[in-house]
Structure 1
């Protein structure tokens, strides 16, 4: 009977306190209770927001708004998912974030904005100024706070999946995408209803203008605002436990920046007929470009962290020698999954993808441990990740080894000057050294005789 090979030894490195057994949780702290309550809350919010939007737009306007508002959603979700490919987070976090933005946050915003605008109009007896004040002051505060609640919930209750800046950007961006989806349905459906009353159609219609501004020009507006909040939470997640004030103050600072940028965007129409385009060109586009560069740079830094931290586990025997290089390259990862799919089907490819995700989490965990940022469960979490890797090694190692060989940098070989190489890198015909008489049966060097070597010649 074959015996199972023993685990390799642990690498020398950061050591954290061993985690003890968890205390028995109260009934309201159990996972199924939290998931059930949260699902019920989101479902009720979705039903209420559906009824409110349909009441304001009508059935036909709702369907038109829904069809137009859904267009940018797959592109935005794909972009945020691409950013999260180094250490992919669970799909349930993304589903929760989108549902919170589309249902709960949108419902809070509609109710709070309507109440605040009516109260201001009654207090000032000036409905026009109430609308302007509500759009530039009330709406940014309410909407960004409602969207930030999703980031806060993931940060508090899914802390293991929220480990850095990219996680904050992805959770915040997906939440804002859901919020913009519902808001676009409302705006586009209302515009369509206005066109139905006035009889306008085509390019000059209100629906076309609304579609151009909200779907073509600025589909990234809401994600851009809320990403600032996500960056605050992401940097807080990277902070050491002893940096308490940094962990407390950074998320509110990000939220305030999101509110300020949102207020400037909503108030762009106050700056004259060209205020919208001025704010768009001078603030929104540069901010979008800067944040895009930041998250891509962070993504590359994460890959570098993988390449730097995993060799310790390769030395200890947990990983093959070529795996740290392959796991630190997105191209090598794709090749490994494709190789596993050709040999073992989709199931093998999924196992390799999980292996890559666990190995990346292990590298980040060790990186935090070396910097003194690991929690009390460092040893327990490290053992869990190593066990997951060990269980999948038979499927993943051949695929990653193939990917490492295929993507390894070519080492240039300096050959002797008298060698004539053929198609595959081997001498096609032996020749004599330069500057000497041809050997019997061998031709002279093709470049002709060379001067004698003089080591003192300058």
Structure 2
């Protein structure tokens, strides 16, 4: 007769109503229907944007632009993935964000910007002012709104994966990276076509100048703008559900800031000969440094949350006593994965990685529950995470115990409570307890004395 596994006692709930999610009421509410519809939308928009860009740049320009525009993409994706190491989101969210930025958002931006610029040109009969107005006013509004749509969709439909500022920054940054990728193909391909017509080659070409400005100097420009929108959604995720006005106004404020920064960046060329470099040095670089500090500080706060929330589950028996410390240290986590990979191979390392991710999600969930920000499925979600940890404990716990021993702080050297030789008193050569006043090492070793020779009375 099969028996149920000996699960530990359940820790007291910090708050949040119990309840479970009901199944979909209609067929169009099923998950696979949404996936199919979204995949079809992204695929169609990708084909359309591919045709539009190729039409404007030509086949050769498109290939050159594609080869140059792809260079910063792995670095930016790796940077955002590094920021998300504490509680890494699923790759499907990142793939969706990049695809939305590269396909859907880029298509919306190209169509809307072209239509708006032509309408302004017709209304004002001034092509130069129409281009300036389109770049500084229309483009920031259209492009940032199109990119923000991806963050909004993940916020609404992947709420479990969207828990704070870092998640908002990562989703927004990856979306903007995809958008910049497509836009760079268009700009670089067009520049290459210009060089083909004028016969320019080498460092003085338009392609080289465009590559230097867009890929070398400012690959983070679009991610920097959209990250402000992501921060707004991240703050909304941290807000209680009852504060609906705040959950709407904060993301909207982030979107408006992103539009304003984008407008200043696009308008830098109108500020004079050195306007671009002035805006870059006085505005973009400090903003980039400030946002980088904010994200890293937020990540450290997440690690502190893990160390503070998980001991409740260690007391209940779900975790070992050392696990909250290990899971709250990135170095200890890495050592645990390395240990598992060395002794159990890739499957074991993958189990430990999943264990760390589930434990971190559990800590964040309990933190929201303690602050009254848990959703209706708090109890169900907590049980799911605990059982996922319990399934992987046999593989993960030895690795985590090793990491705890390897990263434990060394015990400080403490002086003995009794005084050293020579400090017992001043009663001649000996102290109070009859010990010599000088250390024993001050005396000559026994081998330095002459050997004892018995007395021989017959010896003259």
Q: Give me the TM-score of the superposition, normalised by structure 2.
A: 0.91
CA offsets 1:289-346 (integer angstroms, 9 cap, x no match): 0000000000000000000000110011000010000000000000000000011100
Partner of 1:301: 301
Matched-pair contact (CA < 8 Å) for 1:418–1:433: no
* Mapped partners of 2:28, 2:318: distance in 1: 39
CA offsets 1:19-64 (integer angstroms, 9 cap, x no match): 1450443111111110000000000011111111011011111111
Gaps of 5+ in 1: 420-431, 446-458
Partner of 1:118: 118
* Mapped partners of 2:352, 2:185: distance in 1: 40
Q: What is the DSSP-based 3-state SS (H/G/I as helix, E as strand, rest coil) of the residue aligned with 2:441?
A: coil
**1:42 equivalent in alignment to 2:42:** yes
- Compared with structure 1, are the counterparts of its residues 229 and 2 closer, same or farther at alpha carbon in structure 2 (3 Å cutoff)? same
Partner of 1:174: 174
Partner of 1:403: 403
Partner of 1:102: 102
Matched-pair contact (CA < 8 Å) for 1:336–1:399: yes
1:443: how far off? 2.0
**1:148 equivalent in alignment to 2:136:** no
Partner of 1:245: 245
- Compared with structure 1, are the counterparts of its residues 363 and 204 closer, same or farther at alpha carbon in structure 2 (3 Å cutoff)? same
1:433 to 409, 412, 421: 421
Partner of 1:453: none
**16-25 or 360-369, which deviates more:** 16-25
CA offsets 1:207-263 (integer angstroms, 9 cap, x no match): 010000000000000000000000000000000112111101111110000000000
Partner of 1:226: 226
Superposed counterparts of 1:362-377, under 5 Å: 362-377=362-377
Partner of 1:452: none
Q: Give me the TM-score of the superposition, normalised by structure 1.
A: 0.92
Matched-pair contact (CA < 8 Å) for 1:195–1:206: yes
Matched-pair contact (CA < 8 Å) for 2:16–2:373: no
* Mapped partners of 1:379, 1:135: distance in 2: 50
- Compared with structure 1, are the counterparts of its residues 418 and 198 closer, same or farther at alpha carbon in structure 2 (3 Å cutoff)? farther
Partner of 1:443: 441
Matched-pair contact (CA < 8 Å) for 2:166–2:295: yes
Matched-pair contact (CA < 8 Å) for 2:164–2:234: yes
Root mean square deviation of aligned Cα: 1.9
Gaps of 5+ in 2: 424-429, 444-460
Instruction: Indicate the structure (1 or 2) with the bigger Cα radius of gyration.
Output: 2
* Mapped partners of 2:20, 2:372: distance in 1: 20
The alignment of Structure 1 onto Structure 2 pairs a total of residues equal to: 434
Q: What is the DSSP-based 3-state SS (H/G/I as helix, E as strand, rest coil) of the residue aligned with 1:443?
A: helix
CA offsets 1:339-386 (integer angstroms, 9 cap, x no match): 000111000000000000000000000100111111111111100000
Partner of 1:388: 388
Matched-pair contact (CA < 8 Å) for 2:422–2:438: no
* Mapped partners of 1:90, 1:107: distance in 2: 26
